């Protein structure tokens, strides 16, 4: 009775770690073994969401928010402390090996390729590890050679590859066994603009053409804006937002910046004395006005400004998605600050 | 129906994993061979270090007629038995011997995303070919033993020698596995745990009856190196048993090895379970 539309179902998923006090030396380590003290940190705290087949989702949050811990539970590496989850109808931590055949995993900062061997050797080895039938293997390899342009370095030892080439190799390796779901942990970390673009285009392509569901964690919101229609934001182990990028702008990004260039240097400073409007910066004739469009409609503000002073030019800027998300984290912390543990403690 | 197919599936899985171990281990050796010069140098260096140690022990014992009733040639034989098994175990189980690095680098997570048991993958993660040097030195020790003593060869003894070596390899590999298991709780105590593997391999170079009673108990009943090296050596060299164990004690090496390996396997599995519940 599994709902085949939903590839991931997570309900109330939680993971607590016991953080032991750190002691130096071998003796300290031995005492650490015996000591069951320390305090408990909730890395993931009652997370629920579902993912439909073919979706491409950005799972984001600051360091230590619980992103990686969630991914580790959904790949079957970690057992949760509470809650339930199914991935493609399987319980990850109970059916780890079965699930491994259906998912691809790329950890951006660690390669799964054999360091001292040519890329092709790693790919060959993984064919055996995942028992990929030879005709599927050849078809997939041909596709990836073309899409990821692997030919120039297919026989080069992995240690000699550039970061971008290595990531392309890692993607091919992760997709060789036709997974229906791909987890990507920071896939563009450290890449230059060109290398990054190429990888983002490739991911969009396999999602569109082969219907691979993609869940990616990242720091880089540029990745999300270019790839994902849906965004899940996690902070301090809890989901603080789940919706589209447009929705997040709608709900949280009510602030705009109005940049006004005056015709001549104003004799008196531009002072509107209006609630929800603040002049955040002045530079010669240029004024930056920060305003809340739910309090002050744009048209009214422009009319008001034009009424007071001679305006030569006007621009309105939307806040960057980074700034909006930064705002969400700050709000979340203000709400939860007194009870929860600092998130930085659980970074491993 | 399911009852019949389950063990069948299980043995097919095992065969499959054994085949993959061979491939993954071969890939690791191929990787090391990329640095061809260093590859052979490391083997030679390892052989040299162990040979010097052996030479020092031999020179020392040549001054005495016997040690606890054992002639230098017989000591050399014991030395060979221990070195060959320790070397082979270190090659096969190298991934466990260097497991703390795998944990520290966070690569164990990676292994758990693949459709293979973590045991096989760790085993294949590091095949320490330089330990061929230790095996080589062990073979030299056997040659020295043959030159210094008349070994009492019979068909039975010739057949029991490989059984003895296989048992000792299993016990050393199990020791490496136990050492690796500790890393799931702490990676700071590796030196303390090394005392059992490296220390054990060194003590197994000598006839165990020369040691104190506590040491003997440790090597017979807890870490059964005495049962898989010393006791079979009594038979292989046709020596009287100064500790007067029953005669069959000389032949239980494979049983002792199997029990110890099974215990190490259980400990490893509980270590993996602990890792997966704590992520550390």
Each residue's pLDDT tens digit, B1-22: 445 666 777 788 888 888 999 9
CB A26 to CB B32 under 8 A? no
Please give the pLDDT value at position A1: 42
CB contact under 8 A, A18 and B188: no
Q: Are A233 and A328 in contact (CB under 8 A)?
A: yes
| Structure tokens belonging to residue B235 | 């038979």
DSSP state of A21: P
Query: Between A244 and A108, whose confidence is greater?
Result: A244
Per-residue confidence at A37, pLDDT binned at 50, 70, 90?
low
β-strands A277-283, A286-292 pairing: antiparallel
Chain A: residue whose CA lies nearest to B112 = A77
The ranges of chain B with pLDDT < 50 are: 1-2
Determine the distance in angstroms separating the CA of B142 from the nearest CA of chain A, rounded to an integer.
36
A203 neighbors A58 (Cβ within 8 angstroms): no
Tell me whether residues B34 and A107 touch, CB distance under 8 A. no
Cβ contact B192–A116 (<8 Å): no
- Site of tokens 């569109």: A208
CA atoms within 13 A on the CB side of B64: 13
Structure tokens at A244: 């589209």
Treating both helix axes as pointing N-terminal to C-terminal, what angle do B155-182 and B72-92 enclose, rounded to 10 degrees? 50
Name the residue among A25, A76, A129 with its Cβ closest to that of B20.
Answer: A129
Give the span between the Cα atoms of B280 and B270, in whole angstroms. 14
CA gap A304, A295 in Å, rounded? 14
pLDDT at A82 exceeding the cut of 50: yes
pLDDT for residue B263: 96
Report the chain A residue with the minimal C-alpha distance to residue B113.
A100
Radius of gyration of chain A (CA): 25
pLDDT at B243: 84
The DSSP-derived string for A225-270 is HHH-SEEEEEETTEEEEEEEHHHHHHHH--EEEEEEEESS--SS--
Residue A199 has pLDDT above 80, yes or no: yes
Beta carbons of A94 and A105 less than 8 angstroms apart: no
Interface of A with B (CB under 8 A): 15, 17-18, 25-26, 28-30, 32-33, 69, 72, 75-79, 93, 96-98, 100-101, 103, 105, 107, 110, 112, 114-117, 121, 125, 128-131, 157, 348
Contact A177, A189 (CB under 8 A): no
Greatest Cα pair distance, chain B, in angstroms, is 69
DSSP per-residue string spanning A264-302 = S--SS------TTEEEEEEETTEEEEEEETTTS-HHHHH
Q: What is the pLDDT of residue A346?
A: 41
CB pairs under 8 A between A and B: 93
Neighbours of B39 (CB within 10 A): 16
The per-residue pLDDT for range A314-324, each reduced to its tens digit, is 898 877 777 77
Rounded to whole angstroms, the Cα distance separating A120 from A123 reads 5
Smallest CA–CA distance, residue A236 to chain B, in Å, is 18
pLDDT in the model for residue B104: 84
Cβ neighbours of B35 in A, within 8 Å? 116
What is the least distance, in Å, from the CA of B271 to any CA of chain A?
Answer: 13
Residue A344 pLDDT grade (very low, low, confident, very high; cuts 50, 70, 90): very low
Residues of A in contact with B23 (CB under 8 A): 125, 128
pLDDT value of residue A330: 79
The one-character DSSP state at A12 is: E
Chain A CB contacts of B276 under 8 Å are 77-79, 93
Nearest residue on chain B to A121, alpha-carbon basis: B27
Which residues of A fall within a CB distance of 8 Å from B115?
Answer: 97-98, 100-101, 129-131
Would you call A105 and B34 a contact, using CB atoms and an 8 Å cutoff? Answer: no
> Out of A25, A72, A76, whose CB is closest to B279?
A72
pLDDT at A345 over 50: no
Interface of B with A (CB under 8 A): 16, 19-20, 23-24, 27-28, 30-32, 34-35, 105-107, 109-110, 112-117, 185-186, 188-189, 191-192, 276-280
**Cβ contacts of A274 within 8 Å, gap of 6 or more:** A296, A301, A304
Query: Token match 């032991």: residue?
Result: A20
Q: Which residue has the higher pLDDT, B63 or A26?
A: B63
pLDDT value of position B59:
85
| One-character DSSP codes across chain B | -HHHHHHHHHHHHHHHHHHHHHHHHHHHHHHHHTSHHHHHHHHHHHHHHHHHHHHHHHHHHHTSS-BTTB-HHHHHHHHHHHHHHHHHHHHHTHHHHTHHHHHHTT-HHHHHTSSS-HHHHHHHH---GGGHHHHHHHHHHHHHHHHHS-----HHHHHHHHHHHHHHHHHHHHHHHHHHHHTTT-SS-HHHHHHHHHHHHHHTTS-GGGS-HHHHHIIIIISTHIIIIIHHHHHHTT---TT---GGGGG-HHHHHHHHHHHHHHHHHHHHHHHHHH--
Phi and psi at A179, nearest 5°, equal -65, 150
CB contact under 8 A, B30 and A121: yes
Residue among A209, A211, A139, A212 at smallest CA distance from A174: A212
Distances (CA, A) of A231 to A228, A241, B34, B87: 7, 8, 45, 54
Q: What is the pLDDT of residue B177?
A: 94
Q: Which residues of B touch A132 (CB under 8 A)?
A: none
Picking from B190, B192, B168, B170, the residue whose alpha carbon sits closest to that of residue B180 is B190
Mode of pairing for the β-strands spanning A181-185 and A213-218: parallel
Give CA–CA dist B215/B69, Å, rounded: 19
Strand pairing of A277-283 and A56-60?
Answer: unpaired
- Whether A337 shows a pLDDT value over 80: the answer reads no
Backbone phi, then psi, for A97, in 5-degree steps?
A: -70, -40
Chain-centroid distance of CA B148 in Å reads: 26
Distance from CA of A277 to the nearest CA of B (A): 49
CB B210, CB B129: distance < 8 Å: no
Best of A129, A157, A346 to mutate (most B CBs within 10 Å, chain B): A129
A113 to chain B: nearest residue by CA?
B110
Q: Which residues of B touch A125 (CB under 8 A)?
A: 23-24, 27
On chain A, the residues whose CB falls within 8 A of the CB of B184 are none
> CA nearest B105 in A: which residue?
A110
For residue A340, the model assigns a pLDDT of: 43
Which residues of chain B are within 8 Å of residue A116 when distances are taken between CB atoms? 30-32, 34-35
**Residues in chain A within 8 Å Cβ distance of B191:** 26
The complex scores an ipTM of: 0.82
Q: What is the DSSP letter of A91?
A: -
pLDDT score recorded for residue A347:
40
Cα-Cα-Cα-Cα dihedral sign, residues B22, B25, B27, B29: negative
Question: Of A109, A100, A90, A47, which Cα lies nearest the Cα of A242?
Answer: A47
Q: Do B109 and A130 touch (CB under 8 A)?
A: no
Residues of B in contact with A100 (CB under 8 A): 113-115
Nearest CA in chain A to B26: A125
Q: Is the pLDDT assigned to residue A32 strictly greater than 60? A: no
Hey, what are A1's tokens?
Answer: 């009775």
Q: What is the CA radius of gyration of chain B?
A: 20
Which residues are registered as beta bridge partners of B225?
none
Based on the number of CB atoms within 10 Å of its own CB, is B192 exposed (0-12), middle (13-18) or buried (19 or more)?
middle
Q: Do A107 and B110 touch (CB under 8 A)?
A: yes
Cross-chain Cβ contact A114/B27 below 8 Å: yes
Return the minimum-mean-pLDDT range out of A93-102, A178-187, B151-160, B193-202: B193-202
The two tokens of residue B88 are: 């082979």
Interatomic CA distance for residues B126 and B91, integer angstroms: 8
Decide which of A56 and A310 is more confident. Answer: A56
For the ranges A48-52, A185-189, B262-266, the lowest mean pLDDT is seen at A185-189
């Amino acid at each position: 009775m599994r709902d085949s539309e939903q590839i991931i179902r997570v309900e109330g998923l939680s993971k607590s770690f016991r953080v032991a006090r750190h002691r130096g030396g071998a003796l300290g380590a031995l005492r650490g073994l015996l000591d069951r003290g320390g305090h408990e940190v909730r890395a993931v705290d009652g997370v629920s969401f579902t993912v439909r087949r073919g979706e491409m989702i950005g799972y984001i949050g600051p360091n230590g928010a619980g992103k990686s811990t969630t991914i580790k539970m959904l790949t079957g590496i970690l057992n949760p402390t509470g809650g339930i989850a199914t991935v493609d109808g399987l319980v990850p931590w109970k059916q780890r090996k079965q699930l491994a055949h259906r998912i691809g995993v790329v950890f951006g900062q660690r390669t799964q390729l054999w360091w001292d061997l040519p890329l092709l050797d790693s790919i060959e080895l993984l064919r055996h590890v995942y028992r990929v039938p030879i005709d599927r293997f050849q078809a997939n390899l041909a596709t990836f050679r073309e899409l990821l342009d692997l030919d120039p370095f297919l026989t080069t030892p992995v240690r000699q590859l550039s970061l971008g080439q290595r990531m392309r190799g890692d993607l091919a390796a992760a997709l060789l066994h036709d997974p229906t779901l791909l987890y990507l942990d920071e896939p563009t970390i450290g890449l230059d603009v060109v290398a990054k673009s190429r990888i983002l285009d490739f991911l969009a392509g396999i999602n569109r053409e082969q219907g691979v569901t993609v869940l990616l964690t990242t720091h880089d919101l540029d990745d999300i804006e270019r790839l994902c229609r849906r965004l899940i934001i996690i902070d301090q182990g809890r989901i603080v937002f789940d919706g589209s990028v447009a929705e997040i702008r709608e709900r949280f990004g009510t602030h705009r910046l109005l940049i006004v260039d005056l015709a001549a240097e104003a004799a008196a400073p531009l002072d509107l004395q209006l609630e929800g409007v603040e002049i955040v910066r002045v530079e010669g004739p240029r004024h930056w006005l920060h305003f809340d469009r739910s309090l002050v409609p744009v048209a009214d503000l422009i009319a008001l400004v034009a009424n007071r002073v001679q305006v030569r030019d006007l621009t309105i800027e939307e806040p960057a998605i980074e700034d909006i998300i930064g705002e969400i984290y700050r709000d979340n912390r203000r709400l939860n600050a007194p009870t929860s543990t600092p998130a930085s403690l659980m970074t491993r | 129906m399911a009852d019949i197919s389950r063990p069948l599936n299980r043995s097919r899985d095992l065969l499959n994993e054994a085949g993959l171990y061979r491939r993954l281990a071969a890939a690791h050796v191929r990787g090391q061979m990329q640095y061809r010069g260093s590859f052979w140098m490391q083997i030679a260096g390892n052989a040299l270090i162990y040979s010097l140690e052996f030479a020092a022990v031999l020179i020392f014992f040549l001054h005495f007629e016997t040690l606890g009733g054992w002639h230098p040639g017989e000591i050399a034989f014991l030395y060979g038995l221990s070195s060959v098994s320790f070397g082979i175990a270190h090659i096969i189980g190298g991934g466990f011997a260097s497991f703390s690095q795998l944990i520290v680098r966070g690569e164990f997570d990676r292994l758990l995303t693949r459709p293979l048991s973590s045991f096989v993958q760790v085993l294949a993660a590091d095949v320490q070919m330089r330990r061929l040097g230790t095996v080589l030195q062990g073979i030299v020790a056997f040659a020295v033993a043959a030159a210094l003593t008349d070994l009492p060869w019979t068909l039975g003894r010739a057949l029991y020698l490989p059984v003895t070596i296989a048992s000792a390899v299993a016990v050393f590999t199990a020791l490496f596995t136990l050492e690796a298991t500790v890393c799931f709780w702490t990676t700071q105590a590796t030196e303390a745990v090394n005392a059992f593997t490296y220390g054990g391999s060194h003590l197994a170079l000598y006839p165990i009856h020369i040691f104190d009673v506590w040491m003997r108990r440790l090597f017979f009943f807890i870490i059964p190196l005495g049962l898989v090296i010393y006791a079979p050596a009594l038979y292989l060299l046709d020596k009287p048993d100064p500790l007067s164990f029953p005669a069959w004690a000389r032949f239980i090496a494979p049983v002792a090895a199997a029990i110890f390996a099974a215990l190490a396997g259980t400990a490893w599995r509980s270590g993996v379970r602990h890792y997966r519940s704590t992520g550390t």
